[in-house]
Amino acid sequence: MKQLPLLFIFLLIFSCTKKDNSEIENLELPDCVEKLTIDNRRGPAIQRVRVQEVKNEFHFWLNTDVLQSDLSEFVVDEKCNVVCTFCSECNEPLCSKEYEYDDWVTIWEK
């Protein structure tokens, strides 16, 4: 009977797998995203770029740290087409359901 809890712990440890983010962590910024990190004349400066894979496509969150200021932040695809907008005071857009907050990986930081 003492072996049952040990078996459970053993199974729990080996059934939990850490998500492999090595492909994302080594991802380079697309040219258009890199240009946006340099050119901040259009709004608040990008502080970090986070990425997440959605439906076999990389999405880049251009994080400006303005959500607490009632402004919007944008998520773009590899061609810099806006695919979603995050904001603190607006209704949650449907596109935000495609993302898991904990799955965002920072690949560039100012």
The predicted-structure confidence for 79-106, as pLDDT tens digits, reads as follows 999 999 998 888 888 999 999 999 999 9
Alpha helices, H only, 16-79: 22-25, 31-38
**Domain total of the chain:** 1
Q: Would residue 3 count as lying in a domain?
A: no
Q: Would residue 102 count as lying in a domain?
A: yes
Q: Would residue 10 count as lying in a domain?
A: no
Burial class, 63, CB count within 10 angstroms (exposed 0-12 / middle 13-18 / buried 19+): buried
Q: Quick check: pTM over 0.85? A: no
d(CA 73, CA 97): 16
Q: Would residue 16 count as lying in a domain?
A: no
What is the domain range of residue 39? 28-109
Q: Would residue 1 count as lying in a domain?
A: no
Q: Would residue 11 count as lying in a domain?
A: no
Q: Would residue 12 count as lying in a domain?
A: no
The single-letter code of the amino acid at 73 is: E
Q: Would residue 51 count as lying in a domain?
A: yes
State pLDDT tens for residues 9-43.
544 444 454 455 666 777 999 999 999 998 767 67
